[in-house]
Structure 1
Amino acid sequence: MSKIRVPKPFSDLVNEFKNKNEPDVDHEFEEKKVVPSLSKYGATDRKGRYLHWDEFKWRVERGDDELVAWVATKINRKARAKYLQQLQADKESCFSYNIPDSLHARLHSIDKMIAKGQEIRDGNNFISSSDKQHYFVKSLMLEEAITSSQLEGASTTREVAQEMLKKSLAPKDKSQQMIFNNYQLMKKAIERRDEELSIEFILELHSIATYKAIDNAAISGQFRQDNNIIVTDLYGENVFYPPESQTIQSRLKHLCNFANQEHSQGSDFIHPIIKAIILHFMIAYIHPFGDGNGRTARAIFYWSILRSNDYWLFEYVSISKFIKEKRGAYDKAFIYTETDDFDLTYFIYNQVETIEKAIKSLYEYIDRKRDEFNQFMDWVNRSPLAKALNRGHLEILKEAVKSPGQEFTAKQVAIDFGVTENTARKYLVDLADRDLLVIAQAKRGKARIYIAPANLKARLEL
């Protein structure tokens, strides 16, 4: 990441242009230069981008004074800003944010996608209630657990991590432990979504996130006690010094009050997605722990957004995958907010874009699953073999067709489909007897494994 050009605080810029104690300063500056620029340089540029000075200074129109243009932009932003007095930044400033038209349009787009999900679910074309836990375990929360851990340095391969979670295996190293912890963390955040946020709950989430997987001599479930901590970027550059440790309790108390406050109507309205993003940012900013702040922050994002029944779809949406894909932009969004009068709008734009991508990815996933299901059901409707099988057999076959070479065990199938191990074993034996699965001996222990053959589709004549 290249060095970011930091703007001067707005108050300093104004003082430079309008210091009435200095007679040699042109006091008509604002009238002659800034005022005409107010209509030209709004809160966003003409493409709807909310630019930080780091990018803004290169996009000023030829012939215009870049500082005048920046002051005009800042005036327009401050005129429409919403100030969050509960969320203090330094001794004299609080955090604020804007919702320009381009951001409002993106929020509207997300809300429409959420509504589409409701229509799909109500039309029984989404995930059936009997499949919900299976879907939850094997797909999106699993993805969130893995990529959220990778953001914090976990190095286990995706295949190994998936096998560990799907088969409920014990973690073998710190990276696997991080992923296992994150999976438990996400489940806890969802289970407790109807409870209020408290300091005790934040500590509990951190304890789950960092169990046997914590660095910096930090202690799981405990706040940092000193200020010997610096946040660095991907290239090891020092980019942020968190607030003093003595302020952590007070800051988190105010943050919990903000999180639990009703913001659903009137002048106090805050869009639920905006609120969840703010909580995400604030945990990372306050940096209450020596390690594990990012994992805890993302869990609290999910806790917050899922408190609203209107946003149930987020239970199936993984944001960390897309944060990881553009980690540099994610880090920059933090820095932009921290270096420009604590304007949260930069981070909000970044996360709204991430959320859009994540929801679109979910619908792509649903479309693929629907196509696979329709193909499979066509076979079921015309196959004499399928009529001799029950739902349990068909569920296993559906997975086997999708993933040739996949291994099945009675224990895994029992967990995935909510049946006893004896029932699961019977399903697997029946399919093996019909030459639809291949039996092999596990490398360790006496358990048998059942493997989906590479030519299963041909055997089924799909």
Structure 2
Amino acid sequence: MAKDRIESPPELEGIFQKVDYKEFSEFLQKYPAVDSKGRYLHWNEFKWRIDSGDDPKKAWFATKMNRLSLLKNLELFDKTGKKFKFCVPDSLRSRIYQIVKLAGGNVGAISNTEAGSNIQNSFLVSSLLMEEAISSAQLEGANTTRRVAKEMLESEREPKNEDERMILNNFLLMKEAKRRCSEPLTVDLILDFHRIATSGTTKNSVVPGEFRQDNDVYIIDGLEQVVVHQPPDFSELVKRMKRLCEFANKEHAKEDSDIFIEPVVKAIILHFMIGYDHPFADGNGRTARALFYWFLLKNGYQLFEYIPISKLLKNAPMQYGAAYLRTETDDNDLTYFLYHQTEIVLRAIDEFTGYLKHRTQEYYEMLTWLEKSPINEQLNFAQREILKKAVKNPGRIFTVKEVKNDFGITDNTARAYLNNLVKFKLLIRSKDGKTIQYISPANLREKLNQIKI
């Protein structure tokens, strides 16, 4: 069997019968729940990393026994009725702590700039929601460049094809997840998310907002073209989704809870279960990621408005699928998926921090340059951002819709910002049919230096 194929672990009962108890006691000390690097290894990787001379199966048995004392059962079941479970070893707890610490803050605190203003927050939300919408659709197979997709979202033009429709749907879906984050999870809400995700698309004969009506759904290994997962029977879906809603709505963070589950962990479990149940003919991944964001926003992790995870999943789709298979092949142990997703989230937060630092540096560079212009005091953040783009791209066309969407403001406010720049002769106003356009002049930099107030 290929080393990179997910192999099911050996049955423990057969190993138990061959255990020498003195040897086993030593193995319990030698092979804890995680390895010396804090990794929660699946049998697929574990068997290659034991000490020379040790029996791999006996070492695995020792690790499984150590994990057993940590594992917690959930009231969520696979298609055979077996419970899913998870544990939080210290290495995973450390990741969760970092996520909570970083994602519980706000943009202004991180950037330490005027970035704390509502307008700049809206600008970041819009920009990164677009990134998530584009990457999420590309993860599902949409074939559209980022430049074209961003232009469509900014200008609010109608999608030209199904790939663009998927991207627009994802953008609307993320906004809907935020809008409804104060609601409890219901089957209707799940269906609403799916309806938005798949509206106007035809892949796999999907019906927006409707559970699949057959079992003709198979998850295929992309390399070997073999079936690696067949979801639960379609007749069970309503019952399973109701149970998932009960799980989502139950308070697991109180002192008197029968089981404590961090909101970050719970959000990842919601994501997993939609992928496992595959309740729709298409759009399961998009719906799962929307629920992930929805639950974190619901629990006060507001920074997740800004953190796109789909780009990282898109860059490593095999690892995403493997995280599911590790769970399914090892007694429904969700810990594998938790490790994978927390790694993705931490990398996404790190990328966001880098993006924010870059934006902050650009902003201050623009401020330094604009300070030399007499108009500086007359400009707000949005107008400075518009001018920054305009200086870099002579002849660039701006529209009211683009500015409205970029900064989360009304049409009238966007129009006023642009017309004010026209008043100072920093943009040229023209008409293309019924659309008013605002064009960056070739000599904008000189105009900014020469302008008189």
* Same-fold call, TM cutoff 0.5: yes
**Does 2:8 correspond to 1:6?**
yes
Deviation, structure 1 residue 461: 6.4
Question: What secondary structure, in the 3-state scheme, does the structure 1 residue paired with 2:171 have?
Answer: helix
* Paired amino acid for 1:394: R
RMSD, aligned α-carbons: 2.6
Query: Residues 122 and 406 from structure 1, CA distance in 2 versus in 1: closer, same or farther, beyond 3 angstroms?
Result: closer
Distance (Å, rounded) in 2 between the aligned partners of 1:404 and 1:271: 50
Aligned residues between the structures = 442
Deviation, structure 1 residue 407: 2.6
Distance (Å, rounded) in 2 between the aligned partners of 1:172 and 1:140: 22
- Tell me which moved more, 122-131 or 333-342: 122-131
- Tell me which moved more, 193-202 or 215-224: 215-224
Query: Residues 192 and 55 from structure 1, CA distance in 2 versus in 1: closer, same or farther, beyond 3 angstroms?
Result: same
Deviation, structure 1 residue 241: 0.8
**Does 2:172 correspond to 1:184?**
yes
Residue deviations 1:69-124, cap 9 Å, x none? 1111111111110110x101143420011111111111122223235547706966
Any residues of structure 2 matched to 1:82-93 within 5 Å, and which?
82-84=72-74, 86-93=75-82
Q: Is the 8 A contact 2:15 2:61 kept in 1?
A: no
Q: Is the 8 A contact 1:414 1:424 kept in 2?
A: no
Query: Residues 153 and 453 from structure 1, CA distance in 2 versus in 1: closer, same or farther, beyond 3 angstroms?
Result: farther
Unaligned runs of 5+ in 2: none
**Does 2:376 correspond to 1:386?**
yes
Any residues of structure 2 matched to 1:235-384 within 5 Å, and which?
235=223, 236-266=225-255, 267-309=258-300, 311-384=301-374
Q: Is the 8 A contact 1:224 1:288 kept in 2?
A: yes
Query: Residues 94 and 389 from structure 1, CA distance in 2 versus in 1: closer, same or farther, beyond 3 angstroms?
Result: closer
Q: Is the 8 A contact 2:268 2:338 kept in 1?
A: yes
Any residues of structure 2 matched to 1:111-150 within 5 Å, and which?
111-115=100-104, 117=106, 120=109, 125-137=114-126, 139-150=127-138
Distance (Å, rounded) in 2 between the aligned partners of 1:206 and 1:152: 14
Match among 174, 197, 212 for residue 209 of structure 1: 197
* Paired amino acid for 1:7: P
Distance (Å, rounded) in 2 between the aligned partners of 1:34 and 1:181: 55
Deviation, structure 1 residue 263: 1.1
Distance (Å, rounded) in 2 between the aligned partners of 1:461 and 1:54: 65
If the length of structure 1 is used for normalisation, what is the TM-score? Answer: 0.88
Tell me which residue corresponds to 1:23: none
Distance (Å, rounded) in 2 between the aligned partners of 1:206 and 1:35: 51
Distance (Å, rounded) in 2 between the aligned partners of 1:256 and 1:389: 48
Deviation, structure 1 residue 441: 6.8
Q: Is the 8 A contact 1:229 1:241 kept in 2?
A: yes
* Paired amino acid for 1:426: N
Distance (Å, rounded) in 2 between the aligned partners of 1:35 and 1:454: 78
Residue deviations 1:378-434, cap 9 Å, x none? 233332243565666434213434666643123433454435265355235335x3x
Query: Residues 14 and 261 from structure 1, CA distance in 2 versus in 1: closer, same or farther, beyond 3 angstroms?
Result: same
Distance (Å, rounded) in 1 between the aligned partners of 2:115 and 2:384: 19
Q: Is the 8 A contact 2:400 2:411 kept in 1?
A: no
Distance (Å, rounded) in 2 between the aligned partners of 1:295 and 1:54: 29
Deviation, structure 1 residue 450: 3.6
Query: Residues 411 and 95 from structure 1, CA distance in 2 versus in 1: closer, same or farther, beyond 3 angstroms?
Result: closer
Tell me which residue corresponds to 2:410: 418
**Does 2:422 correspond to 1:429?**
yes
Tell me which residue corresponds to 2:32: 42
Distance (Å, rounded) in 1 between the aligned partners of 2:243 and 2:42: 28
Distance (Å, rounded) in 1 between the aligned partners of 2:103 and 2:114: 15
Query: Residues 448 and 237 from structure 1, CA distance in 2 versus in 1: closer, same or farther, beyond 3 angstroms?
Result: farther
Distance (Å, rounded) in 2 between the aligned partners of 1:120 and 1:320: 25
Distance (Å, rounded) in 2 between the aligned partners of 1:347 and 1:172: 36
**Does 2:43 correspond to 1:53?**
yes
- Tell me which moved more, 298-307 or 235-244: 235-244
Residue deviations 1:299-327, cap 9 Å, x none? 00011111112x11111111111111111
Residue deviations 1:205-255, cap 9 Å, x none? 111100011422231111112111101244344221111112111111111
Deviation, structure 1 residue 270: 0.7
Q: Is the 8 A contact 1:428 1:450 kept in 2?
A: no
Distance (Å, rounded) in 2 between the aligned partners of 1:371 and 1:296: 35
Query: Residues 140 and 352 from structure 1, CA distance in 2 versus in 1: closer, same or farther, beyond 3 angstroms?
Result: same
* Paired amino acid for 2:370: V
**Does 2:127 correspond to 1:157?**
no
Q: Is the 8 A contact 2:107 2:121 kept in 1?
A: no
**Does 2:94 correspond to 1:101?**
no
Deviation, structure 1 residue 126: 3.8
Residue deviations 1:182-201, cap 9 Å, x none? 11111111111110001111
Unaligned runs of 5+ in 1: 19-25
* Paired amino acid for 1:247: E
Query: Residues 206 and 379 from structure 1, CA distance in 2 versus in 1: closer, same or farther, beyond 3 angstroms?
Result: same
Q: Is the 8 A contact 2:107 2:116 kept in 1?
A: no
Question: What secondary structure, in the 3-state scheme, does the structure 1 residue paired with 2:88 have?
Answer: coil
Q: Is the 8 A contact 1:411 1:424 kept in 2?
A: no
Tell me which residue corresponds to 1:231: 219
* Paired amino acid for 2:116: I
* Paired amino acid for 2:271: H
Tell me which residue corresponds to 1:171: 159
- Tell me which moved more, 115-124 or 335-344: 115-124
Q: Is the 8 A contact 1:87 1:94 kept in 2?
A: yes
Residue deviations 1:307-350, cap 9 Å, x none? 112x1111111111111111111111011111111110111111
Percentage of matched positions with identical amino acids: 43
Distance (Å, rounded) in 1 between the aligned partners of 2:44 and 2:446: 58
Distance (Å, rounded) in 2 between the aligned partners of 1:343 and 1:392: 48
Tell me which residue corresponds to 2:388: 398
Q: Which has the higher contact order (CA 8 A, sep 6+)?
A: 2
